[in-house]
Amino acid sequence: SAASDVYKRQMSQTVSKKLERLGIIDDAESFDNYMNRNGYSQNITVGSFSISPDDTYRDIAKKITK
């Protein structure tokens, strides 16, 4: 539904901003765009993840999605 798509988009933006604040990524907008372009934003899952600043966008996306 459109409402769930909006929610998932907001979740991707929130996660991206948090990762930027934590120093994991340099650019929240760039990461959010990557998540959306590659279909990851629809599958973000809630939980604790082991993520490193050395991880690529792809590495992080795979860790935080189901």
What pLDDT, in 10s, does the model give residues 28-61?
999 999 999 999 998 999 889 999 999 999 999 9
Residue with tokens 């907008």: 29
pLDDT band (50, 70, 90) for residue 25: very high
pLDDT for the residue numbered 20: 97
Residue 6 clears pLDDT 70, i.e. is over it: no
pLDDT for the residue numbered 21: 97
Structure tokens at 60: 């992080």
